[in-house]
Amino acid sequence: FLNRWPTTPTNRSRGRARQVYKSFLAFNVLKISERPVDASKITAVDNPTMNSTNCNVCHTVIDPMSGAFRGWSENGDYTKFYEGAEWHNDMLPAGFGTEQMPPTFYDKGLQWAAGQIAADPRFAISTVYTIYTGVTGHEPLSYPADATVANFKDQLAAWHAQDAFFRTTADLLVASDFNVKTVVKAVVK
């Protein structure tokens, strides 16, 4: 995972964090904000990722998760987090959602984050998405965004039907104590 999505000194594992949300929580962070961002709206703002509403709409989600990758190098090697080593003070503290990572987990941030992710209801949906895509070869339908197209109602009905299937199947997965066979059977049926 770390080698597939490397980072840079300026990216600070934000790309990795975005991929965590996409892969394990069925959440594409890049879809929550207008892109591309109008640079004229952020050039006068000090630290736009924290202080500009054009930027922080995404960064309040990904920056805490990127803190779970502290101690991991750009190439995916663990370099050990040293006690007292500070995280970037121009980013939000490490965490997940509204939960800040306790300092005792700084040297094992990914393990802490994994527990938070597994407890999130979106994890079950993401598991269903992954198996659905693997079995059928199709990505889940995107929510139809253009209400002006002729077949918008059909697209919306298809999305709702598929979403209902995914949610029901995710409930089955949770009820089966995350037995993946439950999802595979539901998708095949």
In the chain, % of residues over pLDDT 70: 95
Task: Categorize the per-residue pLDDT at 167 as very low, low, confident or very high, splitting at 50, 70 and 90.
Answer: very high
What are the pLDDT digits (tens) for 12-45? 999 999 999 999 999 999 888 766 667 777 777 7
- Contact call for residues 67 and 94 (beta carbons, < 8 A): yes
Task: Categorize the per-residue pLDDT at 77 as very low, low, confident or very high, splitting at 50, 70 and 90.
Answer: confident
The residue to which tokens 């591309």 are assigned: 36
Q: 136: which DSSP letter? A: H
The tokens for 83 are: 């006690």
The number of angstroms, rounded, from the C-alpha of 185 to the middle of its chain's C-alpha atoms is 26
